[in-house]
Amino acid sequence: MFITIAYIGNSNSKLNELERDYIKKINRIGNTLGLKEIVLKKIKNSPKKNITDRKEDEFSRLSNIICRDSFNILLDRKGIQLDSINFSKIILKESSNSKNLIFFIGGSDGVEKKNHKHFDKILSFGDLTWPHKMFRVMLLEQIYRSITIFNNHPYHK
């Protein structure tokens, strides 16, 4: 199983070291799930000025990564909210189905509702607005937490 995080935005950040730290932790204990690798895939911001055009262009860029053989999860404010246990159940279920996971983080204006149908699940981390750089770290932390939950590791509590 591979986990990919596809995101619109910039990857230059003071948080890159923290991202790398979580990726190392995930890769180290993820083999219990058959996790082979976790990859961050950057997609450049759209240069378009009009919000509607920018959202369509960014979705077009993201949709090139959607894979029918993978479980595609869009992270969007309009998605369903889960606690860490239920988030981990999604990862466990798809890993037991031998599916790769692709998490999609759209641009700052989100993804048009009409395009939600292209994803297998739409999840939300709440109604708060977060910078993409911090959100990637939060997602990586939740993936790590999920793996520790499967392994009854004390990190979760």
The DSSP symbol for 94 reads: H
Instruction: Provide φ and ψ at 106, rounded to 5°.
Output: -75, -175
Residues 6+ apart with CB under 8 A from 34: 1, 95, 98
Check: pTM over 0.85? Answer yes or no.
yes
Q: Is pLDDT above 70 for 156? A: no
Which of 33-47, 56-70, 110-124 is least confident?
33-47
- What pLDDT digit, counting tens, does each position of 21-52 carry? 999 999 888 776 767 777 888 877 777 778 88
Mean pLDDT for all residues in the chain: 88
Q: What is the pLDDT of residue 127?
A: 87
